[in-house]
Structure 1
Amino acid sequence: MGFLTDEEKATLQIRRMIFHVVGKTLEEPILLEEIAPPQHTDFFVDRVKSALRGNLFEFRPRSDAERMLREISGNSDAFTAQSQALALEFQKQHSAPTSVGVFFVFELEVGAAIPIYALIKYDNEDVVRYILRSGDEPQVPRLERFQETFVRKPEAMQKIALVRLGASAGGHLMVRDRSNTAHISDYFERFLQVRRVNSPDEMSGKLVEAFKATFKEHRTSLPEEIRRSGVNRIYEVMRQGHRFDPEAFEPILTAIFGQVPEEAPLRRTLTRNLKQHGVSEETFDINPERVQKPRKHRLETDEGTQILYDEDHEPTVRDREDGRKEILIVTTGLKVDDVDIDTGSRRR
């Protein structure tokens, strides 16, 4: 299940909002007051939704970030003061120079008893706006330059953490950090005081299972070459150590299944399987050591002959002049040479 349900995503709205200006070129953050009522909420709700795919973390015991958010949750009058404390802590933990931007704190309504919080570092953008007069007369456009602006492009949101507090302690966070998409930057981890819920090793295994389930469901519709050795292709591709990003995994998909049309049912099946295995939102580096290919292989001919072998005893397959293939097995001896009385379990 994702961090937000489909119903929560549909009803998500901003209840309260505030931001403070941060950046290492400032001696201290510029602390501001709450924007009440919230403004341009449709713009910022879309920005939050665009960053929902991230990595799942949980608060460590005695996290200051958790404590400050609990102060806000338990006391509506603490919203401004605790958001300012969060901005001060965010700036203090950032050890390297960073561009000036703003640190947002949103309180989000999703229909649950306890609200969701969004912490966002939004970079300022240097833009030039042009202004035209109305009318048909020839004119020279007037240009205005702005540095304190918020833009739609995802890159402007450098860091975002969606926080769902636990009922009495702890809580889970969906974190998207554009400086380290497969995990989280060190200073952001220190600021939040969190740890990863799902290890990349565990997710590597789940990813393989999601692709295997998809292959088995669509095997008959795939090209012969892929149909013949699809599971082996999955293991071979995964053992190359790719990065899995739910927003950009087309190279992995193509390497395993070949070119898959945008509207192909296989894509919908894969999306469902990724969600069922809990890897539909997180980005991680696949650990090849956790993608161990099974030792037993199966070779089956058009006539129904099946050969089970491991990698140390792979048979030799040769092409014949008449177009058929010849399989050569070298063995130290025969264990069984009899009529097969258990044909039911071996039917194709």
Structure 2
Amino acid sequence: MTTDIAEAVEYSIAEDAKLERIIFHIVSPNLETPMILMEVETPEDYSKFFIDRLKETLKGTTYIFRNDSWVNNQIKDALQSPHAFVDTSERLAQKFQELFKSDKRLIPGALMLLQIKNGAKTYGAIVKYDDMSVISYTTKPLKNGKTKPILNQFLNNFVQDKKAIQKSVLFDIKCPQQSIICTDRSGSKGDITEKLKDYLEADRLFTTTLLTERLIAALEETARANPELLPPEIKKKIKGKIKQAVKDIVEFDPENPDQVLTAAFGDAHKEEKIRKSFTASLKKKKISNEKFAISKDAIKQSPRRVRQTNEGVKVIYKNDDINKNIFFSEDGGKKVIKIVTDHYVLDDDTDE
């Protein structure tokens, strides 16, 4: 399946989603092979904790497994029998352990394989959880009426801090060959690292060129849906304004869209209707969670421009025509358009 025809799976995790299975193994640069652990016997006891962590993954980037991806094949094998789930987790941990040989940024932690029941769907997740040192405390009342704090330091732990999740991959268990959602704290501009891409044998679903084109289309769609909210000086040159707004940002983050919205729509970006319309358009174009670098190649300036008078006269021209075949000027506050040509190629009635 190629990325230009692949479909993005709609991912969501409901409040009543349940953690059905979880197993994890210890991976570390200090180990030759992973420390293999048994499956957690009562995953339901920790359901809310891990479900809440996985909801952060929903904000990740859409990828797709390559043909014959080893990890994808392992995921399919995990469905064959209850025991295959355990075997698969061990093989995934072994392959991940090999990354420590070439990626010095990795720190010790746990590689998890989880299975989540979400309504009629079943999701799977691969999560690299970093070890983080935390200090817990309890209190002890003393006879003199004072309360004594008792501190304990723990290294092997799973904490709520989303930064503890170094890498995560969420997939629909019934169709992992379609798009998957990935996060990688070591990545940049929404991308995961090359090491993780090689581990998964996966590529980003949408190219930066396509993402940029869809962002421009979403902004134009938002403008068309809310013409009454746009100032006249912006509305009359909206296409050019939008392209310039996108060109001026280095990357787009759907969680922080103010810069591009302000540049495109001016003060109108504060209007709740415009913001909701833009969010809906991003979702419709399946890029509502996509953080990406802007592709300059996608911002093509049209070879032709158009000016339309208040009376409905429309002039379409190329920049090269200005002051050669067409002249724009002002006379006493009036706009003057002068066109010089050898002959008319069209002089007919029109239904427009």
TM-score range, shorter chain: 0.7 to 0.9
TM-score, normalisation: structure 2: 0.84
What is the alpha-carbon distance in structure 1 between the residues aligned to residue 299 and residue 280 of structure 2? 21
Do the aligned partners of 1:57 and 1:195 also contact (CA within 8 Å) in 2? yes
Q: Following superposition of structure 1 onto structure 2, how do residues 212-251 of structure 1 map, counting pairs within 5 Å?
A: 212-240=220-248, 242-251=250-259
How far did 1:316 drift? 6.7
1:318–1:251 distance in 2 versus 1, CA, 3 Å:
same
Q: List gaps (5 residues or longer) in structure 1.
A: none
How far did 1:332 drift? 4.5
Q: Which moved more, 1:298-307 or 1:233-242?
A: 298-307
- 3-state SS in 1 of match to 2:89: helix
RMSD: 3.0
- 3-state SS in 2 of match to 1:269: helix
How far did 1:54 drift? 2.3
TM-score, normalisation: structure 1: 0.85
Number of equivalent positions: 338
1:20–1:325 distance in 2 versus 1, CA, 3 Å:
farther
Letter aligned with residue 203 of structure 1:
L
Do the aligned partners of 1:241 and 1:287 also contact (CA within 8 Å) in 2? no
Which residue is equivalent to 2:263? Answer: 255
1:96–1:335 distance in 2 versus 1, CA, 3 Å:
same
Matching residue within 152, 157, 169 for 1:161: 169
Q: List gaps (5 residues or longer) in structure 2.
A: 1-6
1:36–1:333 distance in 2 versus 1, CA, 3 Å:
same
Which residue is equivalent to 1:117? Answer: 124
Letter aligned with residue 181 of structure 2:
M
1:15–1:336 distance in 2 versus 1, CA, 3 Å:
same
How far did 1:308 drift? 2.2
Q: Following superposition of structure 1 onto structure 2, how do residues 1-348 of structure 1 map, counting pairs within 5 Å?
A: 3-5=9-11, 9=14, 11-38=16-43, 39-94=45-100, 95-97=102-104, 98-112=106-120, 115-133=122-140, 137-165=145-173, 170-181=177-188, 182-240=190-248, 242-259=250-267, 264-314=272-322, 324=333, 326-327=335-336, 329=338, 331-333=339-341, 335-336=343-344, 341-342=349-350, 345=352
Encode CA deviations 1:312-342: one digit per residue, 9 max, x unaligned: 234776677x6x354465x542645999854
- 3-state SS in 2 of match to 1:73: coil
1:216–1:239 distance in 2 versus 1, CA, 3 Å:
same
What is the alpha-carbon distance in structure 1 between the residues aligned to residue 285 and residue 239 of structure 2? 17
How far did 1:137 drift? 3.1
Do the aligned partners of 1:121 and 1:157 also contact (CA within 8 Å) in 2? yes
What is the alpha-carbon distance in structure 1 between the residues aligned to residue 107 and residue 330 of structure 2? 64
Letter aligned with residue 294 of structure 1:
S
What is the alpha-carbon distance in structure 1 between the residues aligned to residue 316 and residue 8 of structure 2? 40
Encode CA deviations 1:194-238: one digit per residue, 9 max, x unaligned: 223322222221221111111111122122332222221111122
How far did 1:185 drift? 0.9
1:268–1:20 distance in 2 versus 1, CA, 3 Å:
same
Q: Which moved more, 1:39-48 or 1:152-161?
A: 152-161
1:302–1:31 distance in 2 versus 1, CA, 3 Å:
same
1:11–1:143 distance in 2 versus 1, CA, 3 Å:
closer
